[in-house]
């Protein structure tokens, strides 16, 4: 896997090499035996009901504990089912809204405001200069 992370793309394995690696893993009898033994052990524990959070050892300094997700999974499954059934019952029609902002109008009104403000300042400056003379 580290070879896939090499910064130089030419040193990374090709897709054919990656495929061959996966095939080697899949066809490796040692791995197959390990997975088979692990599955047998898992099934035994499931049947004896010794698999789950009740049977795990707790570390004396552990802060967090894991919880079963089965409750949450069933809740989400029921929500998804109700959403799917709701979607099937109704057809929705969407309506396009004209919410685009006309930037030219805004920029024109801004420039008009700035120009009128400049003119007012110029007029005020002109009159104030006349009065002081």
Alpha-carbon span 116 to 120, nearest angstrom: 6
**CA-closest candidate to residue 56, choices 64, 100, 7:** 64
pLDDT at 40: 92
Determine if the pTM surpasses 0.75: no
Q: What are phi and psi of 84, to 5 degrees?
A: -65, -40
Maximum distance among all Cα pairs of the chain, rounded to whole angstroms: 107
pLDDT at 31: 76
pLDDT at 76: 75
Tokens of 65: 């504990």
4 DSSP assignment: G
Alpha-carbon span 39 to 33, nearest angstrom: 10
Are 74 and 90 contacting, i.e. CB atoms less than 8 angstroms apart? no
Task: Profile the chain (133 residues) by mean pLDDT over runs of 10 residues.
Answer: 86 93 81 85 80 67 72 72 56 62 56 68 61 55
Q: For residue 49, how far is the Cα from the chain centroid?
A: 36
Q: Report the interhelical angle of 15-27 vs 29-47 (nearest 10°).
A: 60
pLDDT at 19: 93
């Amino acid at each position: 896997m580290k070879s896939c992370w090499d910064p130089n793309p030419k040193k990374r394995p090709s897709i054919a090499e990656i495929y061959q690696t996966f095939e080697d893993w899949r066809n490796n009898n040692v791995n197959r035996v390990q997975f088979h033994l692990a599955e047998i052990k898992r099934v035994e524990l499931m049947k004896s009901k010794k698999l789950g959070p009740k049977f795990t050892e707790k570390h004396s300094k552990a802060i967090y504990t894991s919880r079963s997700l089965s409750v949450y999974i069933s809740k989400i499954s029921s929500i998804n089912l109700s959403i799917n059934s709701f979607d099937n019952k109704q057809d929705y029609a969407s309506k396009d809204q004209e919410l685009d902002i006309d930037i030219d109008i805004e920029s024109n009104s801004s420039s008009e405001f700035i120009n009128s403000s400049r003119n007012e300042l110029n007029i005020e400056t002109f009159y104030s200069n006349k009065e002081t003379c």
